[in-house]
Amino acid sequence: MVAVGLFASCVENDNPVNPIDPDPAASDKYVLITMSERSLEKPGYASAFNELPSGDVVNNASGSLQGLGFGGWRPQNNRLFKMFNTSAAELGIEELKVDAEGTVAPAAFIKTDQNTNGSGNFVIASETQGFYFDGANPLDIQTFDPTTMSRTGEIKLEDAVNERGVDNPEILFRSVGQKFLVVKEGKLYANISYAKTDGSQKGFWDDYFPEVYLAVIDLESLEYERTIKIEDTGSIAYINDNNMYDFDDNGDLYIVTQGISAVGGKSKIVRIKAGEDDIDSSWSLNMDDITEGGKFVSVFAKEGKIITVVPNTVLTGGPSGNINDADVWDFYQFDIESKEKTKIEGVPSVTNPGAAFCAIEIDGKVLLRVTTKDGSTNGYYELEGTTAKPLFNVTAGGSVSGLYKVSQE
């Protein structure tokens, strides 16, 4: 990502779009978040616009919300949620609200354990039913009411976790739901981690088994049913606000697995078909078949196509690595049935979307998050077919990390 100095201060602009122009009559608000610095705290801004932004955009005007935890978010069902609170970047579930005047503000926060990465990973099933992981009780899935933003109980899954590896001395940490939680057709799916470390990064790139295990829980009874598995991949999604799964229009679920290391290897996208509750063994999209030394980091599915980014060189980690801060990611569209890939034209190579989604849909438009290392391109492009063109560019406030339309009730 880009550093603070590139975007944090206002810049001269002949006609910038300023979000702070209250219009209570506007029934919809388009909320934009940006991250002003790549750091653990993820500082940034949130602003509301009365219309879908276009042209040059300022996201740190005097009325914008400034705070922490703005690397990405998980908005859904006309509500804005993220996994870190705005005041202190604490782990948990925070809701942001936007009023008729366009003011964005924190509204509620469920705090979780602060010593286990993945605490606050959540999924919402309905207005009154949600689930999350709390590292304080790693063998349970917590339940909460999204309407009141309050914890309501837990689902105890120790027996399910201990179906394998219980006496293995190399497994030092076990958890359920730490990296993956999804609701599909009356079932809750939660990853089970078997980690070879028990430090600050326990559960990440330290998997004991080469398979990914998913516990399947019935939503109505909250009873554990069985465990399914994804073969030979090493690790499911790295936990951040980008949940790394998506549903196609037909109900098929597509899941990112990142592979055996932070820079990939055996990374793939797998699916659970509509009407099914197990991994489809007949289909997977494998990064190793596309390029060497890479991995998937995001997925967007629509009308039988997958949009994602693919590295154009071997990924490297560490302080001087290219995985996060270099323009080494290119946008591609994959036909799901044939797996044929088409490079999306009109878009430069970009940095890793990280906690942000690589693609979103608003007002029937598919938008690509396009941010380059030098900050000269930093906004959303609109996709038409396999070509994209700029919709808007953020000139102040940081690198774009999310956009969502909220309809005023």
In what order do the strands lie in the sheet containing 173-184? Answer: 173-184, 187-195, 212-218, 224-230
Q: In terms of Cα–Cα distance, which of 104, 106, 98, 142 is closest to 124?
A: 142
Pairing mode, if any, of strands 55-58 and 387-396? parallel
Instruction: For 371-380, write each residue's pLDDT tens digit.
Output: 999 999 999 9
pLDDT at 200: 86
> What would the mean pLDDT of 99-124 be, rounded to a whole number?
97
Instruction: For 294-330, write each residue's pLDDT tens digit.
Output: 999 999 999 999 999 999 999 999 999 999 999 999 9
Q: How far apart are CA 398 and CA 126, in angstroms?
A: 33
Over 60: is that where the pLDDT of 272 sits?
yes
Q: How far apart are CA 324 and CA 35, in angstroms?
A: 14
DSSP 235-257: -B---SS---EEE-TTS-EEEEE
pLDDT at 10: 35
**Chain-centroid distance, C-alpha 76:** 12
Pairing mode, if any, of strands 300-302 and 285-286? unpaired
- Identify the weakest region by mean pLDDT among 22-36, 37-51, 260-274, 359-373: 22-36
**CA–CA distances in Å: residue 56 to residues 6, 19, 348, 387:** 15, 12, 18, 21
Q: How far apart are CA 315 and CA 266, in angstroms?
A: 14
Q: How far apart are CA 188 and CA 10, in angstroms?
A: 45
Contact (Cβ atoms closer than 8 angstroms) between residue 94 and residue 82: yes
> What would the mean pLDDT of 262-273 be, rounded to a whole number?
96
Decide if domain 109-394 falls under CATH 2.40.50. Answer: no
Pairing mode, if any, of strands 65-67 and 44-49? antiparallel
SS3 7: helix
Q: How far apart are CA 65 and CA 369, in angstroms?
A: 21
Which percentage of the chain shows pLDDT scores above 70?
93
Beta-bridge mates of residue 238: none
What are the domain boundaries of the chain?
Answer: 1-108+395-409, 109-394
